[in-house]
A = this chain, B = another copy of it.
């Protein structure tokens, strides 16, 4: 950490900062400059409570140097983490894994039908919400436990791994019982009780980036999972909030390679929420693969106009077939391939 002093700071102010740093157990290294003095705080500053220093007279700015996260960092672990689903498919290796399915589980027929079609078209995992966080209390909130059972049936029928969301700590054990991957949604990225519970759930976790979370904040949220004992975390870029409402969110695809260079965890992309517009999903799925994403999560519904949620961004099944057909050559163009199984 670097403590930048005001240009009017007195020698006494500087000495007080140096003493406080020593008092906190770190080394202090003053660097007098032409305009002002900066003081280096030497040692791992991840745990420094900056306020003790900010409050001192003559201090203008504190500049962190170390990253605030540890176990998720490439400095902690250099090689990629490979997260295995139950069915022989894994995120974080050479293969690009496609998760697909409806926003919400609506009925046995809906989820089974689409699962069979997705299995044939190249998906390796089935998404579908049983518990749905909805902006309005008057919107469809999911089938709950019944939805989980229907997902399990679909898995039995198709072999697809199940990715589904938990929305509070209490439901983590129930969701974990049925899911192969526990999803934590964007609105819950900083729901720490939920993260801590998911960190002990024993299944891989898919953590979506919050609506306006920085990459550092996403990595700190993942750190909650790893520090609670769960090494199997998949990160997901799903678009951030922006000023242009042509799209539902602004898909930040550069976050894919940026995050991959900071962490050993696999990073996938969600072009459905990332755009919110059906006919932009396929081009952005292609772009995500080209940018190096380790996987995709895509909304597909057997009959989007009848969907109980997110219909406008859900692909028709035949559009999904086309999307996979387009993504395969892109993956090969960069030396990867789409994952398959069974």
What bracket does the count of chain A residues touching chain B fall in? 35 or more
Identify the closest chain B residue to A49 (Cβ).
B308
User: Which of A44, A220, A240, A305 has the largest count of B CB atoms less than 10 A from its CB?
Assistant: A305
Chain B residues near A253 (CB, 8 Å)?
251, 253, 284, 287
Contact of A55 among B246, B304, B329 (CB under 8 A): B304
CA–CA, A308 to B48, complex, Å?
10
Task: Give Cα A24–Cα B340 distance, bound, in whole angstroms.
Answer: 41
B residues in contact with A66, CB < 8 Å: 33, 35-36
Q: Which residue on chain B has the smallest CB distance to residue A326?
A: B334
Would you call A192 and B311 a contact (CB within 8 A)?
Answer: no
- What number of copies of this chain does the assembly contain? 4
In angstroms, how far is the closest chain B Cβ from the Cβ of A254? 5
Q: Of B47, B56, B220, which is within 8 A of A305 by CB? A: B56
Q: Pick the contact of A252 from B134, B250, B305 — CB < 8 Å?
A: B250
Q: Tell me the bound Cα distance from A309 to B168 in angstroms.
A: 26
A170 sits at the interface (CB 8 A): yes
A38 to B38, CA, bound (A): 13
Check if A25 is an interface residue, CB within 8 A of chain B.
no
What 0/1 pattern do residues 27 to 63 of A give for CB contact below 8 A with B? 0010111111010101110110111111110000101
In the bound complex, CA of A278 to CA of B50 (Å): 14
Assembled-state Cα–Cα distance A56/B311 (Å): 11
Residues of B within 8 A of A40 (CB): 31, 38, 40
Q: With A and B bound together, what is the CA distance between A290 and B279 in angstroms?
A: 15
Known contacts A246-B215, A252-B250, A330-B330: A52-B311 contact under CB 8 Å: yes
Closest-by-CB residue of B relative to A251 is B254
Does A286 lie at the interface of the complex (its beta carbon under 8 Å from any beta carbon of B)?
Answer: yes
Q: Are B254 and A51 interface neighbours, CB within 8 A?
A: no
A46 with B138: CB separation less than 8 A: yes
Contacts of A312 in B (CB 8 A): 50-51, 54-55
Task: Find out whether the CB atom of B240 lies under 8 angstroms from the CB atom of A258.
Answer: no
Asked if A242 contacts B244 (CB within 8 A), the reply is no
Shortest beta-carbon contacts, A-B, top 3: A51-B311, A55-B305, A329-B333
Which A residues fall within an 8 A CB radius of B? Answer: 2, 4, 7, 29, 31-36, 38, 40, 42-44, 46-47, 49-56, 61, 63, 65-66, 68-70, 75, 133-138, 141, 167-170, 187-188, 190-194, 210-212, 214-217, 220, 223-224, 227-228, 240-247, 250-258, 261, 274-275, 277-280, 283-284, 286-292, 304-312, 314, 326, 329-330, 332-334
Given contacts A35-B66, A250-B250, could you give 9 more A-B pairs where the C-beta distance is less than 8 Å? Answer: A4-B65, A38-B65, A167-B192, A170-B170, A215-B244, A240-B250, A241-B241, A329-B334, A332-B333
